[in-house]
Amino acid sequence: GAVVSQHPSRVICKSGTSVKIECRSLDFQATTMFWYRQFPKQSLMLMATSNEGSKATYEQGVEKDKFLINHASLTLSTLTVTSAHPEDSSFYICSARASMYEQYFGPGTRLTVT
């Protein structure tokens, strides 16, 4: 099946710094990728839809200036958490759209802000 990778798998950063998370579709091209956030023992919440070559579409309540998304190629989307704070600590998961109603999920990135 299709494979999506995320890097890094874990990251610890200090409050006030920025962190970049990469999401790559390894064996298919994805014009659309999605970014989710998952708090411990909770469900996934869609943060934004990333479209190659255009601006991301953010869900209501998600700060676009804090969570910068860049989808510069058909296989790579990045999420940058700017000026991270402890409340941004979470599990971030991306997915890549292979075809209609067919998404493949990355393994997730655990962000801890100290």
Partner 1 sequence: AQSVTQLGSHVSVSEGALVLLRCNYSSSVPPYLFWYVQYPNQGLQLLLKYTSAATLVKGINGFEAEFKKSETSFHLTKPSAHMSDAAEYFCAVSFGNTDKLIFGTGTRLQVFP
Q: Which residues form the interface with partner 1 (CB under 8 A)?
A: 4, 6, 32, 34, 42-46, 49, 91, 93, 95, 97, 100-101, 103-108, 110
- CB nearer to partner 1: give 8 or 16: 8
Q: Residue 43 Cβ, how far from partner 1 at the closest point, in Å?
A: 5
- CB nearer to partner 1: give 68 or 105: 105
- 76-81 and 67-73 strand pairing: antiparallel
- CB nearer to partner 1: give 46 or 76: 46
- CB nearer to partner 1: give 28 or 82: 28
Q: Residue 108 Cβ, how far from partner 1 at the closest point, in Å?
A: 5
Other beta carbons less than 10 A from residue 90's beta carbon: 21
Q: Residue 83 Cβ, how far from partner 1 at the closest point, in Å?
A: 26
